[in-house]
Amino acid sequence: MIEGLSHMTFVSSGDRTFSVSREKFFVAGDVWIAVMEGESLPTRSYNHVAFKVADEEIEPCLERIRSLGLEVKPPRPRVEGEGRSIYFHDEDNHLFEIHSGTLEQRLAAYERMNTEAAE
């Protein structure tokens, strides 16, 4: 049985090699993220990793992401109540999301939409 997310690895850059290439480590909550040197992804896609934040943290996160010079994508259309998101690419074409909602909120919002459409 899967207990949760252990870690994520992305190709990027660093100074010393202990694994297959140089790497840096970041911690997000209880998850550690390994970022390794290597070739960038050849293309961008919607495949992404999302990090949860409180709704009041969305704007400070957006300011921080922009201060790093990262490309912020325009927001996608949202169903009211599913939370807010910021999507951004790193320099190696990885897509990340900062999201303020929960799965329960999203499913409840979708259910409301289905109920309204059926009426």
Active site amino acids? 23
Measured in whole angstroms, the distance separating CA 37 from the mean position of its chain's CA atoms is 20
Sign of the C-alpha dihedral computed for residues 79, 84, 90 and 92 taken in this order: negative
Angle 51-55-61 (CA atoms, 0-180°, nearest 5)?
A: 60
Backbone region of residue 34 per phi and psi (left: phi > 0; alpha: psi in -120 to 50; beta: other values): beta
